Structure 1
Amino acid sequence: MSDLTLEVTDAPEPEDIDVIGRSLTAFNDGDVGPSERRPLAVLMRDEAGAIVAGISGYTAWGWLYVQWLWVAENQRGRRLAATMLAAAEAEARRRGCHGAYIDTFNPHALQAYQRTGYEPFGRLSNFPPGRTRTFLHKVLGTPAP
């Protein structure tokens, strides 16, 4: 290992991150086949066109991953999360997905996700401190034609 250098940084160059991503993608494609990863977003806008709620995630290997789900404070309690999740899941089925997963450390979000059929499959205590991060999944059933 004497011919290698180790670098730890909190400001990586975008090109360096791109090398890691492309290299891992190439490895995974050879190992388990192409992921067919595609971004997926669901947006809720008010009358002025401003985003008041949204989902950002992607589909890959037959799964929907909801990376971010946000609802503006003044829009909460209107079941917007459930509406957006249903739309994301419908699109995921159209893309051939059979499952979905999401994680949260917010107890209110956890309840909302469970009400829409997501089931916990893992937990990390004190992530962040004082909270538990819960990982949930949902079977989407047969993909849409």
Structure 2
Amino acid sequence: MAELELTDSPSPEDLAVISEGLTAFNELEVGPSERLPLAVLIRDDSDGSPGRIVGGLSGYTSWGWLFTQLIFIPENLRSQGMASRLLTAAENEARARGCGGAWIDTFNPMALKAYQRQGYEVFGELPAFVGDRTRTFLKKAL
């Protein structure tokens, strides 16, 4: 009989069983995901060091989609079009990888506006996700 174990400290091996099982199932259902990591890094050499990473975008491409997981822009680089530059670079790479769409989510109102300026459209919301903030899901055709 199968038993359940609840843990807040699964081992990497435990998580690999789940990930590999789901990957195998999905590949049988819809084909290989061809998942590839994608990052656009912001480097800063203003302090004399050789381009240390101060922020950027992290995500992946899979099944013909770009999914942006994380974007961080340091305070001193905000309101200078950096979000647009990061997204454009990621979208261009996603197109080169054969992707036809992109999706992202946020609960930050400023980020939401930046993504909409970049051409992303809302396709779903979770109201009161954190306090009174709504988590918004957006997509864009590439």
TM (norm. structure 2) is 0.95
SS for the counterpart of 1:23 is helix
Counterpart in the other structure of 2:123: 121
Counterpart in the other structure of 1:16: 14
Counterpart in the other structure of 1:39: 37
Percent identity over the alignment is 61
1:63 to 58, 62, 65: 65
Counterpart in the other structure of 1:28: 26
* Aligned ranges 1:34-113 → 2 under 5 Å: 34-47=32-45, 48=49, 49-113=51-115
Structure 1 gaps of 5+ residues are 141-145
Q: How far apart are residue 50 of structure 1 and its match? A: 2.0
Structure 2 gaps of 5+ residues are none
What residue identity is the alignment partner of 1:4?
Answer: A
SS for the counterpart of 2:129 is coil
What residue identity is the alignment partner of 2:43?
Answer: R
Does 1:5 pair with 2:3?
yes
Structure 1 or 2: more strand by fraction: 2
SS for the counterpart of 1:85 is helix
Q: How far apart are residue 74 of structure 1 and its match? A: 1.3
Aligned CA-pair RMSD: 0.7
* Residues 26-78 of structure 1: CA deviation (Å, up to 9, x unaligned): 00000000000000000011113122320000000000000001101111111
Q: How far apart are residue 129 of structure 1 and its match? A: 2.0
2: CA distance, partners of 1:25 / 1:57: 18
SS for the counterpart of 1:84 is helix
Q: How far apart are residue 103 of structure 1 and its match? A: 0.2
The alignment of Structure 1 onto Structure 2 pairs a total of residues equal to 138
2: CA distance, partners of 1:70 / 1:79: 13
SS for the counterpart of 1:68 is strand
